[in-house]
Amino acid sequence: MRFDTGGESVAVNTRTVTKEELGRQKMFSSKVENLLSQRYQDKPLACVVTYGCQQNVADSEHIKGMLDEMGYAFTDDRQKAKLVIFNTCAVREHAEDRVFGNVGALKKYKLANPDVIIALCGCMMQQKHIAEKIRQSFPFVDLVFGTHALHIFPELLFTAMTRRKRVFELPDIDGVIAEGIPVKRDNDSKAWLPIMYGCNNFCTYCVVPYVRGRERSRQVSDIVSEFEQLVSEGYKEITLLGQNVNSYGKDLEPKVSFSELLRILNALDGDFRIRFMTSHPKDCTKELLETMAQCDKVATHLHLPFQSGNNRVLKAMNRGYTREKYLELINYAKELMGDELSVTSDIIVGFPGETYEEFKDTLSLVKEVKATGLFTFIYSPRVGTPAAEMDDPVSHDEKAKWLAEILDEQEKISAQNMKLHAGKTFKCYVVGKGKLGDNYLAARTDGNLIIEFEGGERLIGTFQNIKVIEPLTFVLKGEIEKN
Ligand code: 5AD
Ligand code: SF4
């Protein structure tokens, strides 16, 4: 536990990994480095494969940071790697099946190359029944560790390399916060910055609260210093991550709200854009929407998943809001930010017991919200969640038809949305070369739309005002606005 840090808000119930513990991991990191230099002439290669959400992408960047420190270089080719690590996702069955398939495919490679280490980590591995299945059915896997053991990866890897026994590390705790783990980022202009971990919501379909532990917020000063570091390294788009960013700071004393954090970051010097995800409608406040509208560096993009448009289903999902409350938030956001606002959402189709009539309410909400983009999923039962125990009479094929209805509708909405942008000017970040022709560059709007325009490569990595001249199907065509 961390107390008195000179007046700052501190987490009083969260275990923060101490500097001494992290120092111990540095020692294991050098031990691995020594072993590697004895075993291999050149830097051995590591292949890090990531499944699932942005939090996993962020975790994998820390795994790569630790591996880099241990003396590994990197490859995307599993068959060239001396270490293959899968950072897994447990949110839907499909993601789990892919992991099992891909791990199985490594069996031959491992048998032919016994010095190769196969490691599995992340949300799926935090579940006991999965770890047990790996233990029984995949004897060639050397190391399995859950989400709460990420910061001790150097120690676990050293043990797996030096001991003849397989290593399974699944601490049954509510989670920790570890500051100062090395990081190796995938992109040099776009960065992920977790501001909190875990989830306390227990939506009845969701496995996340069981595998990611309780909500815990990083201290403002730690977030600000990482943010400033990113800006000084030239990062232009920084996405704040949390399962439910609207709960940020509730566990700190004195409390800090997510809006306050946004205002602090918005006031920092530099040319950058702040994004955030995910917001939960239950905790999304009018104050947050006003903050988005008022802070010039905060993108006017709101990822606010509604999951269902039917109040009975929302209640059965334990979402804590109604369709009406959701619409009130969206309408207020539109009032404040007008055409600048871009809304995206997640939807689950075929929750246990959902009828076609109830599903129709989701379809009608899709029509009302007119989102820029939707992430749609067919319900997938997850071991240990309340929904997995509920009657689920509708067939998967039927649910797939419902999903297709939503996708059809959203396609029409997206085409209409694109047309509405004709003639408008957006502040965009120029991300790289475009696809429409040799001289074209691609730029991203606040709402994550891509506009392509003709321009010289020196504009890559800058913000430009770009006017839309022609909406195409998936991209907008534009030109730099003349003053
Ligand atoms: N089945 C289908 N979709 C799910 N999601 C979470 N759990 C499940 C599940 N059991 C979806 C939700 C969430 C997104 C990240 O994944 O829509 O917002
Ligand atoms: Fe899962 Fe609900 Fe938490 Fe999101 S808010 S991670 S859907 S339990």
- In ligand 1, the atom with minimum distance to the C-alpha of 205 is 10
Cis previous bond, 194, omega within 30:
no
- The predicted-structure confidence for 85-140, as pLDDT tens digits, reads as follows 999 999 999 999 999 999 999 999 999 999 999 999 999 999 999 999 999 999 99
Are 303 and 447 contacting, i.e. CB atoms less than 8 angstroms apart?
A: no
pLDDT at 417 over 60: yes
pLDDT at 4 over 80: no
Ligand 1 neighbours, Cβ below 6 Å, are: 91-92, 205-206, 305, 307, 346, 348, 377, 379-380, 382
Mean pLDDT for the stretch of residues 177-191 = 94
Mean pLDDT for the stretch of residues 417-432 = 92
| Amino acid in position 14 | T
Cis previous bond, 147, omega within 30:
no
What confidence score (pLDDT) does residue 3 get?
33
Residue partners of 137: CB distance under 8 A and separation at least 6: none
pLDDT at 5 over 70: no
362 lines ligand 2 (CB under 6 A): no
Other C-beta atoms closer than 10 Å to the C-beta of 12 total: 11
- Angle in degrees, CA 30, 34, 35, rounded to 5: 120
pLDDT at 6 over 50: no
Question: What Å distances lie between residue 226 and 233, 260, 295, 449, CA to CA?
Answer: 11, 17, 20, 27
The torsion angles phi and psi of 87, rounded to 5 degrees, stand at -100, 110
pLDDT at 252 over 70: yes
- In ligand 1, the atom with minimum distance to the C-alpha of 53 is 15
208 lines ligand 2 (CB under 6 A): yes
pTM of the predicted structure, to 2 decimals: 0.94
Listing DSSP states for 145-175 in one string gives E-GGGGGGHHHHHHHHHH-SS-EEE---SS-
Q: How confident is the model at residue 302 (pLDDT cuts 50, 70, 90)?
A: very high
Q: How far is the CA of 190 from the centre of ligand 2 (A)?
A: 25
Q: How confident is the model at residue 340 (pLDDT cuts 50, 70, 90)?
A: confident
Mean pLDDT for the stretch of residues 260-289 = 97
372 lines ligand 2 (CB under 6 A): no
Q: How is residue 466 written in tokens? A: 């770009």
Q: How far is the CA of 82 from the centre of ligand 1 (A)?
A: 34
Q: How confident is the model at residue 2 (pLDDT cuts 50, 70, 90)?
A: very low
Strand partners, 479: 467
Are 235 and 191 contacting, i.e. CB atoms less than 8 angstroms apart?
A: yes
